[in-house]
Amino acid sequence: MAGKPKLHYTKGRGKMESIRWLLAAAGVEFEEEFIETKEDLDKLRNDGSLLFQQVPMVEIDGMKMVQTRAILNYIAGKYNLHGKDLKERAWIDMYVEGTTDLMGMIMVLPFQAADAKEKNIALIIERATTRYFPVYEKALKDHGHDYLVGNQLSWADIHLLEAILMTEELKPDILSAFPLLQAFKGRTSNISTIKKFLQPGSQRKPPPDEKFIANVRKIFNI
């Protein structure tokens, strides 16, 4: 029997957090080996573990997988979170790309100067409420089901919940104009595997603080 997936990344969110979310939602236990120094990263690079010299890297099913999208695709496919046919998969991919764009804007915030950060928070809130969240609100309304695609939980739902919670850290009432998304957040947060991941003490990572950011800069020469 294969062992638990092992995740190689820093002790923070970054590009690995969506992978943690997807595994947790699928009910898959995983181990983490944290990159805490530049030497830790160099070791992975020098022993040939990193196909493109980059993390995240996940050891799963005898593979050392890199590239976030490839890892997420594999997990979603393996645990029946990627739709029942090609059309559903296309919709899931489109929805995921939207939330990826939104979360990507949030992810870089801690590395920005204070003046740029303030301006970009305003831009993120504007984009979330005029470009991204209206799409998901409409999808839930038109579809008439609890989930974005088909009538079962998919990667798109898990990714959307992660994006909602990230934007709420910037603006707690960001869903005030989106009643269906508010209900979606409540439903999806209560799925047993996700509820467990949202509890204190889980492998979910907190927002990055200054000490963590300083260490990441050091590790990756940013």
Please tell me whether residues 127 and 177 are part of one structural domain.
yes
Alpha-carbon Rg of the chain, whole angstroms? 18
In which domain, by residue range, is 51 found? 6-79+198-220
178 and 147 in a common domain: yes
Output the pLDDT for position 1: 44
In the chain, how many domains are there?
A: 2
The ranges of the chain with pLDDT < 70 are: 1-2
Whole-structure pTM over 0.75, yes or no? yes
Q: What CATH number has the domain bearing residue 154?
A: 1.20.1050.10
- The total of other beta-carbon atoms located within 10 Å of residue 131's CB is 12
* DSSP per-residue letters across 133-171: HHHHHHHHHHH-SSSSSTTS--HHHHHHHHHHHHHHHH-
Looking at the structure, do residues 61 and 141 belong to the same domain, yes or no?
Answer: no
The string of pLDDT tens digits covering residues 80-134 is: 999 999 999 999 999 999 999 999 999 999 988 888 998 999 999 999 999 999 9
Vertex 140 angle, CA 177 and 14, to 5°: 75
Average pLDDT, the chain: 94
For residue 65, what are the β-bridge partners?
58
103 in any annotated domain: yes
